[in-house]
Amino acid sequence: MPTFEGYPRADGPPGVRNYVAVIPTSVATSPIADEIAAQTGENVRSTPHQMGSDPPAAAREQIERTLVGVGTNPNVGAALVVGLGTERIAAADIAEGIADAERTVETLTLREEGGTVATVDAGAALASDLWDEISDRSRVECDASELRFGVECGGSDATSGIASNPGVGAACDRLVEDGGTATFSETPEFIGAEHILADRCVDEEVRERLLDRVDLREATAELMGVDLRGAQPSPGNQEGGLTTIEEKSLGAISKGGTTPVRGIVDYAEELPVGGGLVLMDTPGYDVESVVGKVAGGAQVIAFTTGRGSTTGNPLAPVIKVTGNPKTAERLANNMDVDASTVIEGESLESVGDRIYEKLLSVASGERTAAEQRRLEEFAINELQPNELEKLRGGV
Amino acid sequence: MKGKVLGDLGLHMAADDNVVTAIVDAEAGATLPYEGTTVELPDDVQFGHKIALVPLEPGDDVLKYGEVIGQATETVAPGEWVHTHNMESKRGRGDIAAQAEAN
């Protein structure tokens, strides 16, 4: 059985990194979280975001689920939650959710602390203490079946569906065979390929749920009297040879491999351990989609790109895979795996083996290109008014 | 790589497909063999873009991966570049629904 060197956690599967997460509850304290992390060194990571202080109820639920999920990701050993003091999403509630997963957690509120400077000072001291508490954790041998592997694509072109996506898919198949969990998302990019996924669902319930989610995403465009063509495929995708959403989707779904679809979870909902291939219902924006999977517990992300992308994440290493030979050369500094070799004749199985080895190596501590450059985009998906209306049962 | 490379320039991903994907920057005049005939490119086609193997009429399905990826909007001759100028998506078309409502 393949293994990796990870950090065991009191609750849940092992981490592949050991960080203190500094989590703001709204946009108001995002710069403070960043400053606390900047002052306390590379083991302390902030998750700045743009959510407001009083979001509508259904949107709030998703934001809370995301913040708690981020704080309980296996790569997080301890967390500091920072609030302004009067948000509808209280720092104490987020901290309680994180503490439930047996992580040490502290909270700070700017209004109680006495302003920006005092909060940064107090936060830096608390974050340093939290780091001292978890810094002696060491890596031990862990089973690959304890990995939740999130796969994502961005800046797709025609090579994505030919090389990088099926290559990552072959790695997902190996992980699933070894007992782990693989997940991919971006529901708008199932449109035109949903019949293939539906045929692979393990039962009727999963199948119906999947098709409902795809209908909902397609209907969102139809309700607004517009079509997807303005945004899907994006102008960059089109320059790269992708003409329609169907074509993009058929290439995109291959990144999840070929095993049965065992379930579909909501944005940022916890992913099962040892769960096989599970989909997550997310929008098509890659940064938000990666964060949804990290909040769902993914310890490592593979990110395929044709045109080139530099996206990383503060808490989970992101492995960049390209199938485009020009991108492999021009963006060599931002890429981890060159899958463009498929076009010259390397088998998908062989590329999948290389990606699986990279996954285990990165899980054991090898730094990805995005980590070396501290590229750490973070954004939370905010439910839009038309989606909220759907959730309330209207329309 | 799934599929078969025709004439060292076009990847035919599934037997039913009526387009291939250029795996090089293909130049006008280049040819590829298809079902006993020779398909000649009237224009350059960039790496990653699609080339028709058979004549297409407006409304004809375009197939890649052995699946429908949209429909032709113009008459397309074998060897021609197939992209947003002569084909379109059949899905997520709120514009069509809105037009039907207006009529």
- Nearest CB to A244: which of B13, B48, B69? B69
Structural contact between residues A379 and A288, judged by C-beta atoms closer than 8 angstroms: yes
Note the pLDDT tens digit of each residue in A130-145: 999 999 999 999 999 9
Angle between helices A30-40 and A116-134 (to 10 degrees): 50
A234: closest CA among A220, A217, A248, A218?
A: A248
Q: Which amino acid is at A335?
A: M
- Nearest CB to B91: which of A163, A191, A243? A191
User: Has residue A254 got a pLDDT over 70?
Assistant: yes
Write down the pLDDT at residue B59.
96
Choice between A217 and A22, residue whose per-residue pLDDT is larger: A22
Average pLDDT over residues A88-113: 96
Q: How far apart are the first and last CA of chain B?
A: 47
Pick among B73, B91, B101, B103 to test the A interface (most A CBs inside 10 A): B91
Structural contact between residues A177 and A360, judged by C-beta atoms closer than 8 angstroms: no
User: Has residue A116 got a pLDDT over 90?
Assistant: yes
Average pLDDT over residues B62-82: 97
Q: How far apart are CA A175 and CA A191, in angstroms?
A: 26
Write down the pLDDT at residue A394.
43
Write down the pLDDT at residue B103.
66
User: Has residue A108 got a pLDDT over 80?
Assistant: yes
- Nearest CB to A250: which of B46, B67, B97? B67
A122 vs A49, A79, A125, A127, A184, CA distance in Å?
Answer: 21, 14, 5, 9, 39
On chain B, the residues whose CB falls within 8 A of the CB of A188 are 92
Structural contact between residues B45 and B74, judged by C-beta atoms closer than 8 angstroms: no
Average pLDDT over residues B26-38: 97
Write down the pLDDT at residue A287.
96
Asked whether the ipTM of the predicted complex exceeds the cut of 0.90, the reply is: yes
Note the pLDDT tens digit of each residue in A365-395: 999 999 999 999 999 998 876 676 665 554 3
If DSSP codes are grouped into helix, strand and coil, which group holds residue A223? helix
Write down the pLDDT at residue A252.
97
Of the candidate ranges A53-62, A71-80, A190-199, B92-101, the one whose mean pLDDT is the lowest: B92-101
Write down the pLDDT at residue A1.
86
User: Has residue B10 got a pLDDT over 90?
Assistant: yes
Whether cis (ω within 30° of 0) applies to the bond prior to A233 is yes
Which residues make beta-bridge pairs with B5? B11
User: Has residue B68 got a pLDDT over 60?
Assistant: yes
Contacts of residue B15, defined as CB under 8 A and 6 or more positions apart, other chains included, come to B66
Band of residue A12 on the pLDDT scale cut at 50, 70, 90: very high
User: Has residue B29 got a pLDDT over 70?
Assistant: yes
User: Has residue B101 got a pLDDT over 80?
Assistant: no
Note the pLDDT tens digit of each residue in A290-300: 999 999 999 99
Write down the pLDDT at residue A232.
79
User: Has residue A209 got a pLDDT over 60?
Assistant: yes
Q: How far apart are CA A159 and CA A164, in angstroms?
A: 7
| Cα-to-chain-centroid distance, residue A77 | 18
Nearest chain B residue (CA) to A352: B1
Average pLDDT over residues B61-65: 98
Write down the pLDDT at residue A213.
94
Q: How far apart are CA B76 and CA A128, in angstroms?
A: 66
| Ordered DSSP codes for chain B | --SEEETTTEEE-STT-SEEEESS-BPTT-EEEETTEEEE-SS-B-TT-EEESS-B-TTPEEEETTEEEEEESS-B-TT-EESTTTEE-SSSBHHHHHHHHH-
Band of residue A222 on the pLDDT scale cut at 50, 70, 90: low
Q: What is the mean pLDDT of chain A?
A: 94
Other residues' Cβ atoms within 10 Å of the Cβ of residue A228: 23
- Asked if B99 reaches chain A (Cβ–Cβ under 8 Å), the answer is no
If DSSP codes are grouped into helix, strand and coil, which group holds residue A379? coil
Contact A250 B65 (CB under 8 A): yes
Q: How far apart are CA A368 and CA A184, in angstroms?
A: 20
